[in-house]
Amino acid sequence: MTNKNDANKYHFDAYDLTLLMPVITPNEKGRDCGDLVVFPNTRNFSKNLPKNILMKFIYQNKIIRLFATQSWFKKLFKGVTIKVKPGNAYIFYGFRTYHGNQEIDDNLIRSTALFHYNDPFLESKLVKFIEKRRSSSKTGL
Ligand SMILES: [Fe+2]
């Protein structure tokens, strides 16, 4: 059985730089191991909030995310599948790089430490309002 809950949720990070440090990663041939897929530097850095919201609306929906799982899309947009290894650190421009994880078998464990640096919209009142609404809907407040 494969865990699809967090799989293929391709996105751009809200932060400019992402440091990914794998802690535990499965390496089972023939099984879904939740490998990282990146489309390096798909877009430029930007401090234009409406443009960022539009880009997220275009890229972070079910149809484009489904396309991102297809080999033709990976070929067209130079997607790279990475089997990350504990002990290594992976640094990429999360804001610019469309990325996500593939599916992972339910009985396999993958654990990753993520660090994000520099939020270009840190001072945005609109972003703060959206984040506040999202966190209160998760906690039921
Ligand atoms: Fe991310």
| Cα–ligand 1 centroid distance for 13 (angstroms) | 5
CA of 138: how far to CAs of 4, 85, 99, 132, in Å?
A: 20, 32, 24, 10
| Cα–ligand 1 centroid distance for 17 (angstroms) | 10
| Cα–ligand 1 centroid distance for 60 (angstroms) | 12
pLDDT tens per residue, range 29-56: 889 999 999 999 999 999 999 999 999 9
| Cα–ligand 1 centroid distance for 39 (angstroms) | 12
Residues 37 and 15: their CA atoms lie apart, in Å, by 18
pLDDT tens per residue, range 4-30: 778 999 999 999 999 999 999 998 888
Place of tokens 């609404």: 133
